[in-house]
Structure 1
């Protein structure tokens, strides 16, 4: 399923995504017709559209298109809403933009997922506060990590401070509370949902050389929920720590908003 502004998208319209690759998106897991953090996802699209295109986006129109496109789908699946302008050319990105709404879907994984082993990489995403479609740099590090025998990559800055994963936020448990790394990261919807359902947490600088003091680590986004991290480079974490099961249970019990 792929609809652009409510009608089946054409190859010509998708050319801008393939060749110009300028836009932004959000992905939402739908379970039983409900989305955790639905309003947060819409707020993200509105905010990022203003940043990327200097244009306003009507969240109610986006929701109308999502509901139309998914009316026949049941169970669990992941909706991706991509905002881009099919007429925007690589040579003239400064032209006045008229962004359109592309709605696509894919099957959702069965939660919870198995633990991740991740490799650290020095990298900061371009415009990290925006969930944009420029994923080449991030996916390159995922590829390198997988070629080296890991499942994924986690990013650190030049001083070794952890920021985020390739397409996910990361959190730690220090024995008392959840710690979210402070840095240039995407404000995660699932991260906000977990903070709401679990309770107080802190945001602090977390250095790669100091994570041995953490009792548990996890990755989180709308597609994976709460996924344990069993190792960062050679540092091993308890992937069956009670806090991980508690977070997973609280996340799954939280029904979210009706789509």
Structure 2
């Protein structure tokens, strides 16, 4: 099901998005009408709309659109809110009208508040997002490298900058646990994920620091964060083996599961 501004999305509107691929989005996990970090999702959409379209977005209207589509549905599902202009033209992207709010849904995977997903084995590959602070719809570069990593026998890809510093995963943030049990978030240009931002309030020792190859090899554990699965352990980065059962990861997972959802 896809709705645009609260009504069924027309094929013409969806075609416009497919042809221009210009817009931004956020993805939230809705569980029985509640969303962890709902205010963060809405704030992201408002800020990104200014950056991408130079326009103001009504956060309460976005909330209403999501409520209409998913607020009364039982269980867990993934809701993606995409903001785009159905009238935008390839030849004149500066002439934008009023951005629309597209809401789409899909089934939610396990792992956020129920049972954890299996740990990931990831491959480091160099990549830098275009406009990394904005969650925009141009995903070709990330997906191309995810495909390459999976074809090489890994589960996913972990990006590094031109300087070799670890930044983020394809569609997730990464955190490490050093030998002292401190959570280390990479100091790099990354898309600040909602789950990562919530976890920064967890009652664990945390720092932000550059993660070089040598520092990565000294870490005892690592984990991915995403709205879709919450906290997911990593088993390995390239040839570096990690501890998926580390107690710090378990504590973060429990803390995140206990975050009360905000009602739509």
TM-score normalised by length of structure 2: 0.95
Tell me by how many angstroms 1:198 deviates: 3.4
Note the alpha carbon deviations across 1:56-99, whole angstroms, 9 max, x for none.
00000000111011144111111110000011011111113310
For 1:58 and 1:246, locate their aligned partners in 2 and report how far apart those are by CA, in whole Å. 36
Distance 1:149 1:238, change over 3 A: same
User: Structure 2 matches for 1:4-23, cutoff 5 A?
Assistant: 4-23=4-23
Query: Partner of 2:251 in structure 1?
Result: 246
Is 1:160–1:209's contact at 8 Å kept on the other side of the alignment?
Answer: no
Distance in 2 of aligned mates of 1:24 and 1:86: 13
Aligned twin of 2:171: 167
Would the aligned equivalents of 2:181 and 2:248 in 1 still touch at CA under 8 Å? no
* SS of match in other structure, 1:109: coil
The CA distance in 2 between the partners of 1:258 and 1:162, in whole Å, is 35
Residues 93-134 of structure 1: CA deviation (Å, up to 9, x unaligned): 111331000001111111111111000011001000000000
User: Displacement, 1:200?
Assistant: 4.4
Structure 1 runs (4+) greater than 6 angstroms displaced: none
Structure 1 match to 2:57: 57
Q: Which residue of 1 aligns with 2:121?
A: 117
> Could you tell me which of 168, 184, 187 is aligned with 2:189?
184
2:215 is matched with which residue? 210
Q: State the distance in 2 between where 1:167 and 1:224 align.
A: 11
Displacement after TM superposition at 1:160 (Å): 1.0
Give the paired residue count.
259
Secondary structure (helix, strand or coil) at the match of 1:172 reads strand
Is the Cα–Cα contact under 8 Å of residues 146 and 152 in structure 1 kept in the other structure? yes
CA contact (8 A) 2:30 2:70 kept: no
Inter-partner Cα distance in structure 1 for 2:12 and 2:138: 20
Q: Match of 2:161?
A: 157
Choose from 122, 139, 144 the match for 2:143: 139
- TM-score, scaled to structure 1: 0.97
Displacement after TM superposition at 1:210 (Å): 2.2
